[in-house]
Amino acid sequence: MRAWAPADLLIASITRPSNRVIWHHYSRISWTGRLDRSQPESTMTATVEPPSSGANFSSVPILDYSLLSSSKPEFIAQLRHALIHVGFLYLSNPPVDPKLIADLIDYIPKLFALPQEEKDRIRMVHSPHFLGYSRLGAELTKGRVDHREQFDIATPHETRWREGEDVPEYWRLWGPSQWPEESLIPGFRATHERYLEQVQALSYTFISLLAEAFGLAPDALDYFYDTDEKMQHRSKIVQYPVVTDADADDQGVGPHYDAGFLTFLLQASPHKGLQVQNLSGQWIDVPPIPNTFVVNIGKALEFVTQGLARATSHRVLSPRATPGEPEPTTPRYSVPFFQNISLDVRLAERKLEFPPAILQLKEGRGEVAPTDSVNFAEFDQVPSGQVNLIGRVKSHPDVAERHYPRLFKAYFPEGLPRAAMVESPWAGFQARRSGLRSRLP
């Protein structure tokens, strides 16, 4: 099979009940465009086994959102299984306008192709809210460079922090995004804002479904969110370039857990690369399936659900030539959406009462292999905004030095340890794994 070109398209169909996925490879059309389904250039199948009922998993389950309207109990049962046993799932037919997703995907290469001066004009260092553009290689995970370039863009938010007022400093963590000049990429901002609005709505619906799956009232987790105008959720638009040098490191993003409640990941190109770690520590592929989101659980949600919803370690391998597979010629693109919780909430403040029968289901999944997971004790003690702010300070010391000099001094009294240059929402955890102690000011 020839190499993928930008005009290629993979369409997956899922056969039930085996969950076998068949990919049809089409060329000469936009990946997101309309197509003549009768003319695939080639077809490949993959063994995507049905979700295991045992103690481990060898594939990521696919949940069909449209099942909700025809058989909600079945959807809820599948969701419960995926949350407890896997911690990762594909959500097919999500309630987000497919045209909007297609438009966003079309914008992504154009966004990265903007002149470097324009990208640098909106660099993250200019933002006290840690929003903006980060160059390739600015990020380390577990002491190794992540090969990705990204824009951190959040849902609209007016910062509540005011200089000189007696309000928590961590309120300053949230504020407006930096956008590229409209005339250079017309319509991008409106498209991405509408996309974020729809994914945000999905994220709230999903959390109520999750509550139901665990035998709680649909609004049981509302406590952890603030009113809409006080909330902000975050996205990244990420480009992973092709690694061409055979000896080069292929770490797109190193192994990590997401920190918050839920992540909705749009895999915005046909490249493989995302992998999750199963209970015994093996890496399982999570290839892109069009018209799906990959949904995964963050450490904060694992904490408040007493481990019922698993946070699963995952990583991204950069696109590179692999024997027997089409050679990638274009970057991998993805758009993770990280659902936040209230800045002021302390996780241990509200203990959820799960039915004992639900809690028992954890036992069915067996032992989780030890990983270098981290201690989340500070969630008990301090507001989540403070935990997040410290994570960000450690991740982006250049931003901290400019906008949070007091915290910068507290965490970097002797300059910057290299391992602290991690730049991601899980950075606090990475920093601790790298041997940095988490101190609160």
Q: Site residues (CB under 5 A) for Fe ion?
A: 258
Residue of 60, 82, 84, 238 interacting with ligand AKG (CB under 6 A): 238
Contact 141/247 with Cβ under 8 angstroms?
no
> Binds 152, which of ligand AKG, Fe ion, none (CB < 5 to 8 A, cut-off by type)?
none
Q: How many CB atoms lie within 10 A of CB 320?
A: 19
Chain mean position to CA 298: 9
Check binding of 393 to ligand AKG (CB under 6 A): no
Residues 328-347 contacting ligand AKG, CB under 6 A: 334, 336
268 binds, among ligand AKG, Fe ion, none (CB under 5 to 8 A by kind): none
CB-nearer residue toward ligand AKG: 285 or 398: 285
Q: Which residues contact 407 (CB under 8 A, 6 or more apart)?
A: 169, 389, 390, 393, 400, 441
Q: Is 253 in the site for ligand AKG (CB under 6 A)?
A: yes
Q: Give the shortest CB-263-to-Fe ion separation in angstroms.
A: 6
If the CB atoms of residues 25 and 332 are measured against Fe ion, the closer one turns out to be: 332
128: nearest Cα among 325, 403, 416, 431: 403
Residues with Cβ < 8 Å from 139, sequence gap 6 or more? 145, 146, 148, 253, 421, 422, 423, 424
- Residue 265 near ligand AKG by CB under 6 A: yes
130 is written with which tokens?
A: 């840690």
Binding partner at 265 among Fe ion, ligand AKG, none, C-beta below 5 to 8 Å by kind: ligand AKG
Among 83, 209, 220, 274, binds ligand AKG (CB under 6 A): 274
DSSP single-letter state for residue 143: T
Count of positions on this chain that bind ligand AKG (CB under 6 A): 11
Which residues from 143-182 bind ligand AKG, rule CB under 6 A? none
Largest CA distance in the chain: 65
If the CB atoms of residues 21 and 265 are measured against ligand AKG, the closer one turns out to be 265
Min dist. Cβ of residue 25 to ligand AKG (A): 21
The 3-class secondary structure across 262-300, one letter per residue, is: EEEEEECCCCCCEEEECCCCCEEECCCCCCEEEEEECHH
In the block, tokens 């169909």 appear at: 13
Q: CB under 5 to 8 A by kind: which of Fe ion, ligand AKG, none does 300 bind?
A: none
Q: Which residues bind ligand AKG (CB under 6 A)?
A: 236, 238, 253, 258, 265, 267, 274, 314, 316, 334, 336
